[in-house]
Amino acid sequence: MKTLHYTYTAHTDGQTVESLLKEHGYSKSLINRIKLTSDGLLLCGEKVYTTRKLMAGDILSVTFSEDVSSEHIIPVPMPLSILYEDDDLMVINKAANVPIHPSQGHFDNSLANGLAWYFENRQEPFVFRAINRLDRDTTGLLIIARHALSGCILSDMVKQHKIHRTYLAAVTGDLSGAPEGTITVPIARVPGSTIERMADPLHGESAITHYRLISYSHETDSSLLEIRLETGRTHQIRVHMKYIGHPLYGDFLYNPDYRYLNRQSLHSWKLSFPHPITGIPLHFTAPLPADMKQFLPSLPHTAPFCI
């Protein structure tokens, strides 16, 4: 059960309860659910309809709860690297070879299964809400919403580009000649494929990727890149790096080169976003995983950041 309080501070009266809730990120479906909750909406301690108009100084109390866990997610014990947790969200450092959602062939080894076990042991209901997507083989930072409201607000932040994501990628070849760049090539689905994507300037959706060279390794003939996304197309980094002739290692779709590791060499390194309820800025970093440290031998000791 979660209760939040909102003080109506407008200089003029007249905003409805529903309008105020939408202003604070509540979706229409969540508002309808709260309306069916006993004492879900209280104005100065009294039950109120969503059509009620507010007056300056009114205090609206909103209560909602989740009593039923996600169906069809089997609780399975697995190690979880939880970097942050409060009543509203979690930030997890996802391991390699862990899909996010259960799917065909992965009914009981997904992150959702591990979280279902985690909350079952705490005797808490659990509804799985992953905010940012990571491929099965991509490691690093992932946001999980703890309840419906934080899920609404965080999902809206993704659409408004308020969640800033930075990745580390090891790609083939030497990018010292072009240490910074922006790739602005649209991406589309490969005809006849359900998962594979391709660069398609004519028919694709807009996709923008910024990269910066961190180091070049002569030992592996690879460049370690810092990558920032402005858009979130499926396989965006993998497709864009292949497009410029420097694909990721270990990528079964776009460059099945497994000399150095048996997964795609991509890591969700940094996340920053405002807390969905308090608005406080949050910043997280996930260290480079062990299997990607082999791409670091040429990293200068004077690098202005820590990996």
Residues 162 and 274: beta-carbon distance below 8 Å: yes
Least Cα distance to 181 among 155, 159, 208 occurs for 208
Instruction: Determine the residue type at 166.
Output: T
Q: Are residues 187 and 264 in the same domain?
A: yes
299 is a domain residue? no
Which of the following is catalytic: 88, 135, 137, 251? 135
- In this prediction the pTM is 0.88
Task: Examine the pLDDT at 301 and tell me if it is beyond 70.
Answer: no
Q: Answer yes or no: is 74 within a domain.
A: no
Pairing of strands 139-145, 266-274: parallel
Residues 150 and 60 in one domain: no
Quick one: 109 and 34 in the same domain?
no
Instruction: Give per-residue pLDDT as tens, 25-37.
Output: 999 999 999 998 8
Residue 29 lies in a domain: yes
Give the number of residues written for the chain: 307
Q: How confident is the model at residue 57 (pLDDT cuts 50, 70, 90)?
A: confident
For residue 157, being part of any structural domain is answered with yes
Whether 244 is in a domain gets the answer yes
Whether 69 is covered by a domain: the verdict is no
Rounded Cα–Cα distance for residues 232 and 161 (Å): 10
Same domain, residue pair 172 and 262: yes
Q: How far is CA 141 from CA 81, 158, 258, 277, 284, in A?
A: 10, 15, 24, 20, 8
Residue 166 DSSP symbol: E
- Model pLDDT, residue 97: 93
Domains of the chain: total: 3
Instruction: State the pLDDT at residue 305.
Output: 45
Shared domain check, 276 and 158? yes
Structural domain for 179, as ranges? 165-269
Question: By C-alpha distance, which of 167, 144, 165, 168 is closest to 154?
Answer: 144
Determine the Cα–Cα distance for residues 243 and 199; give it in Å rounded to an integer: 7
The CATH number covering residue 116 comes to: 3.30.2350.10
pLDDT higher than threshold 50 for residue 302 = no
Q: CA 6 → CA 21, 32, 38, 53, distances in Å? A: 9, 18, 18, 14
Whether residue 180 contacts residue 227, with contact meaning beta carbons closer than 8 Å, is answered with: no
Give yes or no: residues 228 and 100 share one domain. Answer: no
123 belongs to a structural domain: yes
The tens digit of pLDDT for each residue in 114-167 reads: 999 999 999 999 999 999 989 999 999 999 999 999 999 999 999 999 999 999
Rounded CA gap, 191 and 197, in Å? 9
pLDDT tens by residue, 190-225: 999 999 999 999 999 999 999 999 999 999 999 999
pLDDT digit string, tens, across residues 5-22: 999 887 656 889 999 999
The answer to whether 58 is a known catalytic residue is no
Per-residue confidence (pLDDT) for residue 37, from 0 to 100: 86
- HSE value, Cβ hemisphere, 13 Å, CA-based, for 32: 3
